[in-house]
Amino acid sequence: MEEHKEKKTYWPLIAVIIVSILMGLALSMYESAFLFMRYFLGSFLCLISLVKLFDLKGFHMAFMEYDLLAKRVGFYGWIYPFIELALGLGFFAGKYLIAVSFLTFLILGFGAFGVFQAMKDKKEITCACMGSVLKVPLTTVSLIEDVVMSLMALAMCFMQLF
């Protein structure tokens, strides 16, 4: 019963990931791993920023519970969804991809530290990754999401440089 509830809790995040994968595959037309990652990250960042924008105030309050920068610089929580949207659109635009990839790596990687710290402190809070409208607990899944996305962005940096 508890396992079923946990799967239902993560369904919105799983749905966003699945849709982002499908969008990445469709837009890249299976040409290359780089194009897939570019369009996947673009789709994912645009979709999760949209969910956060449904209730910006609720997102800001939830985000300040665990994000290290948002705790210290209050306005960061207000602009974070717009930063994600800009990065997502940057992946679609295809201009300055090294900068977009590196910024994505930094922002999501730094966010992973806040998630890790909150988990280490055993805080039971809602992850702001899906905004405040869709309740997803802050767990290892949240940490893995941030780490995988940041590593994917870092891989894209290296793919462009070498």
Q: How many CA atoms lie within 13 A of 66 on its CB side?
A: 27
Is residue 32 within 8 Å of residue 151, measured between CB atoms? no
What crossing angle do the helices spanning 33-53 and 140-161 adopt, rounded to 10°? 140
Of 144, 67, 142, give the one whose Cα is nearest residue 111.
67
Other C-beta atoms within 10 Å of 132: how many? 19
- Which H helix or E strand runs over 146? helix 140-161
Give residue 82's pLDDT: 98
Using DSSP, state whether 162 is helix, strand or coil.
Answer: coil
pTM equals 0.90
Give residue 7's pLDDT: 54
Give residue 4's pLDDT: 47
Give residue 137's pLDDT: 83
Q: In this structure, what token pair is assigned to residue 61? A: 């309050």
Residue pLDDT tens, the chain, 162 long: 444 455 557 888 889 999 999 999 999 998 999 999 999 999 999 999 999 999 999 999 999 999 999 999 989 999 999 999 999 999 999 999 999 999 999 999 999 999 999 999 988 888 888 888 777 888 888 899 899 999 999 999 999 998
Rg (CA), the chain: 15
